[in-house]
Amino acid sequence: MTTTEPDDEVPTRTIRLRVNGRQRRVTIEDRQLLVDVLRHELHLTGTHAGCYNGDCAACTVRVDGRIAKSCLLLAASVDGCELRTIEGISPEGELGDIQQAFWDSDAFQCGFCIAGHLFAIEDLLESNPEPSDSDVRQALTGNLCRCTGYTNIVKAAQLAAQRRRDAVEHT
């Protein structure tokens, strides 16, 4: 019978992160990916681990303001960074405006990939408030959804963009 000895040789360290506005200290194995630290150490399970290959983007988070696939980052590399996960995209119990547009457009089915799509669309609209459908599709090239066929995701992005423009006009 094979027994597995606890591997006490694995190097660890403590990192400091600001996650969704809250300061956190977390002890990690040096080898841990950010996605696994978020899910297993910080219990922020809205960040999903899909492919561990950078293909699907279900693990997307913001790191110091830039969107990133957290399966491609060592947690040790983001020591001291400001993170925002899908849990921090809107106040607890509420939908953010892009989430609401996804809801209103039936833009998701199983929801596994949705964090990546929301962050990608949010990131697009920050730099381009009036995107073409082609701009939206270009913004989603790093995201995979196996349910929707993307059509309603594009519609949701355009709905969110339109609502933001309307809100600006009315202020």
Partner 1 sequence: MLLEHHGNAAVVGGGTFLLPRMTRHLLEYEHVVDLKDLGLRQITSTDGEIEIGASVSYVDVLESDLLRSNLALLPRMARGITGGRQITQQGTLVGAVCFHFPTTDAPGAVFALDAMVDIHGPDGRRSVPISDFLIDAFVVDLRPGEFVSSMRFAPQPSGGYCKVKHSTGSWPIVTASAVPGPGGSVRITLGAVESLPVVVTVEDPLDRTELKHRVDSAITAPWSDVLAPGSYRADIAAAVARRAVEDLMGVPK
Phi-psi region of 27 (alpha: psi -120 to 50; beta: other; left: phi over 0): beta
> Of 26, 67, 95, 147, which one interacts with partner 1 (CB under 8 A)?
67
**Is 71 a binder of partner 1 (CB under 8 A)?**
yes
The yes or no reply on residue 50 touching partner 1 (CB under 8 A) is: no
Which residues within the stretch 30-49 sit at the binding site for partner 1 (CB under 8 A)? 33
Q: What residues contact 151, with CB distance under 8 A and at least 6 apart?
A: none
Q: For residue 52, give Cα distances in angstroms to 5, 71, 86, 104.
A: 26, 5, 18, 30
Least Å from the CB of residue 31 to partner 1: 8
Per the structure block, which two tokens stand in for 128?
A: 């381009």
Q: Which of 28, 68, 75, 161 binds partner 1 (CB under 8 A)?
A: 68
Does position 113 interact with partner 1 (CB under 8 A)? The reply is: no
**H or E segment to which residue 19 belongs:** strand 12-19
Scan residues 136-155 and list those touching partner 1 (CB under 8 A): 139-144
Give the DSSP H/E element, type plus range, for residue 25.
strand 22-29
120: contact with partner 1 by CB under 8 A:
yes
Report the residue count for the chain: 171
- 132 part of the interface to partner 1, by CB under 8 A: no
Binding stretches for partner 1 (CB under 8 A): 33, 52-55, 57, 60, 66-69, 71-74, 76-77, 116, 119-120, 123-124, 139-144
